[in-house]
Structures are given as structure tokens and as C-alpha cells.
Amino acid sequence: MDSNNREEQQKTSRSKEENDQSLPAASTGIVSLPREIMLQILSKVSISSLVQFKYVSKAWRILTQDPYLLDHLYPNRSREDNQLCLIFHSNYPIKNQLYFVDFDAIYSGKETPVKKIEMPFCSSSPEFDVVSSCNGLLCLSSDNSSITSVYNPFTREYRELPNTNQYPKQSVVLGFGFHPSAKEYKVVKIIYYWSNEQTNLRHGIRRFSFPKSEVQVLSLGSSSWRSLGKTSYYLDDWPGQVLLNGRIHWETRPRRYRPHRNIISFDLADEQFREIPKPDHLILRNLAYLAVLRGCLSIGLYVNYGKLEIWVMKEYGLNESWAKEFNIGSYVPKALELGLERSSMISRIAKRRSFNRVLYVLKNGKILLEYKCKALVLYDPKTEDFKDVGFKGMPNWCETVVHVGNLNQIDTTFGL
């Protein structure tokens, strides 16, 4: 009799283990479905829901890590609104912090609460900048660019990259991206530094001299940086880089005898710099920035009285394809009606980005704008109406990043 009971218990135990390894069934509230259908369903949910599914059971966790879901289904829908999220980077009042909210919250009309992102790297890099977002990964840089790292905020994986050459009195421009043909992630570091002779010059003379430079590239998965020599372009890290067609784009710095900005690209495949043609008769000065809207290289240009023009390059690389797509009138969000608070003088982010940015064009045609790191606004080009967008717990001062979330493992992605 005891032997029969033991056999029954062993069968029951094996049955439970088999159920745990199988696809989620009625016990989770969902009828068991074929793997292909389940993966199609998961590919349409938001990243925050996908993260939660990991903790339902071992079977759910296996599904959320399925290579077909992560490598094919989810990336193919990465530009759909429900696959995006907004990440807020704040460094006020005390320390750097990341928050996020699903992109769908923009449509809800409710004050959806933001969620704090756990940051395992705070001890080694308490002060950081967000260089770029690419395929679910954030490239981060310490305040002085001495530490560069790659971070997946939804798996909490963090990889600190090898150190590079350091120069006295250096400034650094960073770029991060993925080339679809080469299937390779790369970090680009352009270091500008002053020689001893230049450093000894009077400040007024040095101010108009051109610094020396070194271009360094790291293929993620490699253990060392490669030097590409110097560059003749004096690139600006303000207001940052944009990635399109496997190329990273920056603006050049205005100089005394060259006050106009140019657009420079770096091809991640052949590792060459190239100049991108600007719209005819359009002068890029300090109040201009780059963006990618609907898969096209774009320029945000400030004109009189707080108005904004958006120029779009419809066919990449063709000068004649530039067209003025949007004229956005002046508007003051409620968060700015009382004027800039004293805290803006403390926030490094607010000082660096004290302007308005176009973040994204939604499927319904409305445009998401960020106003001076303080407020989010939806603009309707058809009606020319503005609508303030707010989230519960959103930081007072923050930089907004439109991010494609995923659960890819960093070691797997980089072939480590």
C-alpha cells in the first residue's frame, strides 16, 4: 500500500514539473495555445507587460525569452506606438534617476504613474548622461565621459565598456548605434584635446584655435578600442546624435569664421565621415537640432517668437528631397506658465537642453513635443491645437527618450 502511494506521489510530482515546463495553461487565466500563436500575442503587448509575464511562471519566462520573439517578432513591430515607451532621465534634486511609462499612456487621457527603473550601476557611475537609445539598449556616459556603458533597463543588465585614452583638457563627443547590414553594435568616441602649446596660449587666442582630435571605435563584444586617427570635423555633443540607416549624425560646432552648422554622418559599416546636404537657403545656427521622424532625417529650426519649423529629408542623401513639413506656432505649457524655477539653474539637464524638441510623430499624425525639459505637449497639425501631457510622479526636470524596449540579453546580443 505504501509503495502504491509513493508511485502516485511520484507521478503527481512529474506531472507538475511537466506542466511547469509546458506553455501557460488555464491556471494562468489563459487557455493553452500553440507556441506560434502565443508568441504572436506576446509580440503585441507593451514592454512593461512583457516584463511582468516573466514572473508568472517558468513557462512564461521561457516564452518571453524565446529567440523568435526577441529577434524577429518584437523588432518588426518596434515602431508601432504600443511597442514604445518614454524614458525620463532626471538629475534633480539629488542624484540621477531613470523612470519610464508605456507609450500608450499618451492616449489614455489619465495621469498614468511613471515607474522607477532600478539602476545597478549607480555606485560606479552616479552622474551620467544618456547618449542614445538603440534596439532596447541605452548607451550611458559618466559626467566627464571617463566611463561609457551599455544598459538594458528592462533586464537590468549593465556592461561597462573598456577605458580609452585620456588627454588633459579634453572634450568628448559620443555616438552609439547598430548597422543592420553589418549586424554590429558600435560605440564611437571623438576626443578633442589641446596640446601643451595650445594650453599655454592666452585664453583669447586659444578660443579660436582648432583642437587636436582622435576618433576611437569599439565594436561591442570586443575587448579594446581601435583608433581611426583624427578628423577634420569639429562636432558638437549638443543637442546630441541621431541614428538612421546605420549612420550616426551630428551637427558641427559653430565657429568664429564658420558660424553655420553642418550635418555630418559616420557610417558604422565603413567607418567613414560624410557631410549630409542641408536644405537650400537654410542656415543652421545655434537654434537648430536633428531628429528622426517617420524614418526620415529631420531638422528642428527655431524661428521668431518661439515658433518651430520642421524640415524633413524625404529621400536620404538627396538635397532636393528636403521639404518643410510642419510649422508649429508658439505655445507655453502650464508647467512653464510661472516661468523657469530656480531649480533649473541646479539641473544640469535643464541647462543643457533649455529649448523645445520634437520627439515623435504618432500614427494619428499628432506630434509629441518636449518643452525645455519641463513639459510634454501633443500638437495636432490639422487643428493647430496643443494639449499638455502629464504623468503622475514625472520628474520636475528631465530629458525624455523615446525608447524601444526589449528583453534581449546583452551577452547574447554582443556574442559574448
CA distance 124 to 129: 14
CA distance 134 to 403: 8
Residue 244 grid coordinates: 538612421
Strands (E), 350-398: 356-361, 367-371, 375-380, 385-389
Chain Cα centroid distance, residue 376: 17
Cis-peptide into 34, omega within 30 deg: no
Radius of gyration of the chain, Cα coordinates, nearest whole angstrom: 24
| pLDDT score of 201 | 55
Instruction: Check: CB of residue 311 under 8 Å from CB of residue 305.
Output: no
| pLDDT score of 20 | 41
* One-letter identity of residue 47: I
Task: Point out the residues of the chain with pLDDT beneath 50.
Answer: 1-2, 6-29, 31, 202, 204-205, 342, 344-345
Q: Which helix (H) or strand (E) holds 348?
A: helix 348-352
315 CB neighbour count, 10 Å cutoff: 11
| pLDDT score of 26 | 40
How would you write 96-141 as a 3-class SS string? CEEEEEECCHHHHCCCCECEEECCCCCCCCCCEEEEEEECCEEEEE
Write down the domain spans for the chain: 2-76, 81-413
Instruction: Check: CB of residue 249 under 8 Å from CB of residue 177.
Output: no
Torsion of CA 266, 267, 269, 270, to 10 degrees: -80
Instruction: Check: CB of residue 206 under 8 Å from CB of residue 197.
Output: no
Q: Which helix (H) or strand (E) holds 2?
A: helix 2-21
| pLDDT score of 406 | 82
Residue 315 grid coordinates: 529621400
Give 348's contacts (C-beta < 8 A, 6+ positions apart): 91, 143
Sign of CA dihedral 279, 283, 284, 289: negative
Coil vs helix vs strand at 407: coil
CA distance 137 to 158: 10
Chain Cα centroid distance, residue 195: 34
CA distance 156 to 414: 16
342 CB neighbour count, 10 Å cutoff: 7
| pLDDT score of 34 | 85
State the fold for domain 81-413: Neuraminidase (2.120.10)
Give 78's contacts (C-beta < 8 A, 6+ positions apart): 84, 135, 404, 406
Residue whose cell numbers read 558604422: 268
CA distance 37 to 44: 11
DSSP assignment of 271-282 equals --EEEEPPPTTP
Nearest to 272 by CA among 375, 144, 391, 186: 186
How deeply is 302 buried, as exposed, middle or buried, from its count of CB atoms within 10 A (0-12, 13-18, 19+)?
middle
